[in-house]
């Protein structure tokens, strides 16, 4: 036996060629993978990232909403135009109304002026007529005018007698006797004595009978002051150029000559 027979060998066992090749291939593959990964990482770090945005697809609902919005815009524009036209028409109408009002005011002013002139002329003519009547009423009895007649018969005499009997009594507005009267109350009560019913107020009594001239008065005629139908005072003609009337609260019922307060007209009911 050799002296080296029991000594363990420190050599590494041989590896066969195929095992070595496999190991080398595995190592090479790992290294290649690492290299590729590193290169990819470097490339990723060096190149900028680009993000892609996807635009929304134009759906049927969106298209309908856009169409509706367009219609609404068109309608709003039409409404604004209509409003503008209406405002313009209103402004034009206002101008025309203002012009018409101005014309109406001018016309009314002209009519009022014409009416005022006519009223002034009427009053002037009435004043002239009353002045003429005053001269006639002042004519003495010898003139033969019927105004100066003192003769009264029948119902007229009864009326004259009654009003003369009330002279001196008080004047009270609205009174019809027996102790006080107003002007129309005295006339109404006097004619009531002979069965004649007269209206209560002066305005109506001034048109209750036949209009007669102041130059042709007879006892018992009703005298009035103011216009027929709108008289403000009445009395009774008693003959000889005299009348009896409830004048006012200061004088009461009095008998006065016609010249004291010439009447405007007269009516005859008897």
Task: For residue range 85-135, list pLDDT tens digits in order.
Answer: 888 888 888 888 888 888 888 888 888 888 887 777 776 666 665 555 444
Q: What is the DSSP string of 189-255?
A: HHHHTTT----SSHHHHTTSSEEE-GGG--TTPEEEESSTTS-SEEEEEEETTEEEEEEETTTEEEE
Could you state, in order of their start, the residue ranges of all structural domains in the chain?
78-137, 142-268
pLDDT digits (tens, 9 = 90+) for 190-214: 999 999 999 999 999 999 999 999 9
The architecture that CATH gives domain 142-268 is Alpha-Beta Complex (3.90)
**CA dihedral (229, 231, 232, 238) positive or negative:** negative
Instruction: Give the CA distances from residue 27 to residues 24, 37, 39, 171, 234, in Å, rounded to whole numbers and listed in that order.
Output: 5, 15, 18, 153, 153
In sequence order, the β-bridge partners of residue 68 are: none
154-181 burial code (b ≥16 CB/10 A, e <16): ebbbbbbebbeebeebebbeebbbeebb
Q: Which two tokens stand for residue 117?
A: 């002139």
Q: Which two tokens stand for residue 32?
A: 């290649």
For residue 213, how many other CB atoms are within 10 A of its CB? Answer: 11
Name the pTM for this structure: 0.48
| Start-to-end Cα distance in the chain | 204
**CA dihedral (211, 213, 218, 220) positive or negative:** positive
pLDDT of residue 241: 96
The region of weakest confidence among 48-52, 75-79, 177-181 is: 48-52
The closest alpha carbon to 173, from 182, 164, 165, 185, belongs to: 182
The region of weakest confidence among 31-45, 56-70, 138-152, 199-213 is: 138-152
The region of weakest confidence among 6-20, 74-88, 247-261 is: 6-20
In sequence order, the β-bridge partners of residue 268 are: 210
What average pLDDT score do residues 66-81 get? 83
pLDDT of residue 195: 96
How far apart are alpha carbons 230 and 213 in whole angstroms? 18
């Amino acid at each position: 036996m050799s002296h080296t027979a029991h000594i363990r060998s420190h050599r590494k066992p041989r590896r066969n060629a195929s095992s070595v090749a496999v190991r080398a291939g595995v190592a090479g593959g790992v290294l290649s993978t690492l290299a590729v990964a590193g290169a990819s990482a470097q490339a990723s770090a060096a190149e900028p990232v680009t993000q892609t945005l996807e635009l929304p697809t134009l759906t049927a609902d969106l298209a309908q909403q856009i169409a509706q919005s367009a219609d609404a815009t068109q309608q709003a524009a039409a409404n604004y135009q209509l409003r503008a036209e209406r405002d313009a028409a209103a402004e034009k109408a206002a101008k025309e109304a203002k012009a018409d009002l101005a014309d109406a005011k001018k016309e009314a002013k002209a009519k009022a002026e014409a009416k005022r002139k006519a009223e002034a002329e009427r009053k002037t003519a009435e004043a002239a007529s009353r002045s003429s009547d005053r001269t006639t009423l002042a004519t003495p009895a010898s003139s033969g005018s019927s105004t100066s007649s003192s003769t009264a018969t029948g119902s007229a005499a009864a009326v004259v007698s009654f009003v003369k009997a009330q002279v001196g009594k008080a004047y009270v507005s609205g009174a019809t006797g027996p102790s006080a009267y107003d002007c129309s109350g005295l006339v109404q009560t006097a004619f009531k004595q002979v069965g004649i019913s007269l209206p209560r107020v002066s305005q109506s009594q001034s048109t209750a009978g036949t209009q007669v001239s102041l130059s042709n008065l007879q006892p018992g005629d009703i005298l009035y002051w103011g216009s027929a139908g709108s008289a403000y005072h009445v009395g009774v003609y008693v003959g000889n150029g005299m009348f009896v009337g409830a004048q006012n609260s200061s004088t009461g019922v009095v008998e006065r000559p016609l010249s004291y307060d010439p009447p405007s007209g007269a009516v005859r009911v008897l």
